[in-house]
Structure 1
Amino acid sequence: MNNEQLKKMKERVFIANLALPKAGLVKLTWGNVSEINRELEVIVIKPSGVPYSKMKADDMVVTDLDGKVLEEGMKPSSDLATHVILYKAFPEIHSVVHTHSKHAVMWAQAGRELPAYGTTHADTFYGAVPCTRQLTEEEVKTSYEVETGQVIVETFKELSIDPEAVPGVLVYGHGPFTWGANPQKAVENSVVLDEIAEMALQTERINRTIKPIPQYLLDKHYFRKHGKNAYYGQ
């Protein structure tokens, strides 16, 4: 194992985890960030239940691609198994974030997808952010975190959603997961998701008959930032 690469991974994951409470997405210890390196065959993730104010980069937990801990130290986040499922199903992603951010959780608890009501949404998510079905009692009792990952994958398959185009999901009654090309981007997607969740909530309060923006506007805003013909930014 390349120790220098692993050290840099731990530092990135540590910094990304600290970004969650700074962005107002996490209270107490309600969140976690991980990163995968498929060449090194490792995942680095936040330790379970450790306050952000007390964490150090060296506390980040290293596992193999199946979630088996490779170093002595702290226990990994209890959501590790969900991260593992997502990495296996979505090979193009390199970091996963889970939070209980207030506004995204509201939609998850309501069991509703998050419609694309405006261009702020469309800049990051190419269409509605889906909400999974409710997990069954058997799924919860048997292997809760694994089944949480499986229901996310099931939702994307059933709806034919590209996980790169819609880098996030709402798990029914639970909360949001987002992902990205690196920890910083995955956290950014969590920030955007909670912002557009609040915007959508207030939009529906103002106009109860509001509909999602038209496809041509969704296309314009998404593809000016993403894809081979993107022109936004430097």
Structure 2
Amino acid sequence: MNEMLLKKELAYISHKVYERGLTQATGGNVSVRLPNRDAILIKRSGVSLGEVTAEDALIVSMDGEVIEGSGTPSKEFRFHLGIYRTRPDVNAVVHCHPNYAIGYACLDKELPLPTVTARKILEHVPVAASAPSGSLDLAQNVTRVFETYPAIKACLMAEHGVCAVGDSLEKAYNIATLVEDTAKQSFIVQQLKATMPQAVTNS
């Protein structure tokens, strides 16, 4: 896929993330590795995922230098680059702030996997330690999780959100949605256990 098509796909996936309610305001960011080039596309800072256009996708080198585009890259570009360096199988990263998954992230708790689908596809969703948004510490914390668990498809970010990866933008988006839906299902199961202990015991 050429660069212009990837820019358009990045905008399309960004809109899906926002419309699905996986992030709010100008939070979250999406990136994709450029084929045959040591660089990525990532949305510029300050634009809502719901309003991203192809022109908002900046080309950033693996050293963090803006090669092409106007504006500054998302302040979280460092952990995107860290993941790409660590995981050559990853071609896309979706970072978002979905409500139920954030609940578990704020408890510094790995995502429970109550369904066979979640266990099969996600397998393990660990937590990256908390650090200020856009900081080098946060980039190091997120990158370290993907180094420590080289097969994971997502991690929670303590007090922050979710980082999902895939070999394409669509697959990274699908992982992000599965993480949030799994978090919602986990919450429902916990509520049912709390209100229906006898039914759970007898099931």
Query: Please, what TM-score do these two structures have when normalized by structure 1?
Result: 0.76
- Aligned pairs, how many? 195
How far apart are the structure 2 equivalents of 1:107 and 1:121? Answer: 16
Verify the 8 A CA contact 1:26 1:100 in the aligned structure 2: yes
Counterpart contact for 1:35–1:94, Cα < 8 Å: yes
Structure with a larger share of its residues in strand: 2
Q: Aligned partners of 1:102 and 1:52: how far apart in 2?
A: 16
Paired residues for 1:195-234 under 5 Å: 195-207=181-193
**Does structure 1 retain, via aligned residues, the 8 Å contact 2:39–2:60?**
yes
The answer as to 2:101 corresponding to 1:133 is no
Contact 2:27 2:48 in 1 (8 A): no
- The unaligned stretches of length 5 or more in structure 1 are 211-234
Aligned Cα root-mean-square deviation (Å):
2.1
Give deviations 1:127-178, integer Å, cap 9, x for gaps.
x31112344xxxx5xx9533223212323444xx333xx3000111111100
Residues 1:169 and 2:155 are matched in the alignment: yes
The one-letter code matched in structure 2 to 1:121 is A
Equivalent position of 1:154 in the other structure = 144
> Which one of the candidate residues 40, 44, 52 is aligned to 1:43?
40
Partners in 1 of 2:25 and 2:129 — Cα distance? 27
Change (3 A) 1:21 1:95: same
1:39-188 map, 5 Å: 39-126=36-123, 128-135=124-131, 140=132, 144-158=134-148, 161-163=149-151, 166-188=152-174
Q: State the 4+ residue runs in structure 1 displaced beyond 4 angstroms.
A: none
CA distance in 2, matches of 1:9, 1:39: 13
Cα offset, 1:192, TM superposition:
0.6
Q: CA deviation at 1:120?
A: 2.9
Asked whether the equivalents of residues 130 and 170 of structure 1 are also in contact (C-alpha less than 8 Å), the reply is: yes
C-alpha distance in structure 1 between counterparts of 2:54 and 2:147, whole Å: 36
Q: CA deviation at 1:59?
A: 2.0
Query: What CA distance in whole angstroms lies between the structure 1 residues aligned with 2:154 and 2:14?
Result: 17
Q: TM-score, normalised by structure 2?
A: 0.87
* In structure 1, C-alpha distance between the alignment counterparts of 2:190 and 2:69, rounded to whole Å: 50
Q: For the Cα contact (< 8 Å) 2:32–2:42, is it kept in 1?
A: yes
| Alpha-carbon distance between aligned partners in 2 of 1:29 and 1:92, rounded to the nearest angstrom | 28
Letter paired with 2:150? D
* In structure 2, distance between residues paired with 1:86 and 1:157: 8
Alignment-derived partner of residue 194 in structure 1: 180
> Alignment identity in percent?
24
- Distance, in Å, in 2 between the alignment partners of 1:152 and 1:52 is 21
Letter in 1 for 2:93: V
Q: Deviations over 1:104-125 (max 9, x none)?
A: 1111111000122211312420
Residues 14 and 50, structure 2, Cα contact 8 Å, conserved in 1: no
Q: Which residue of 1 aligns with 2:201?
A: none
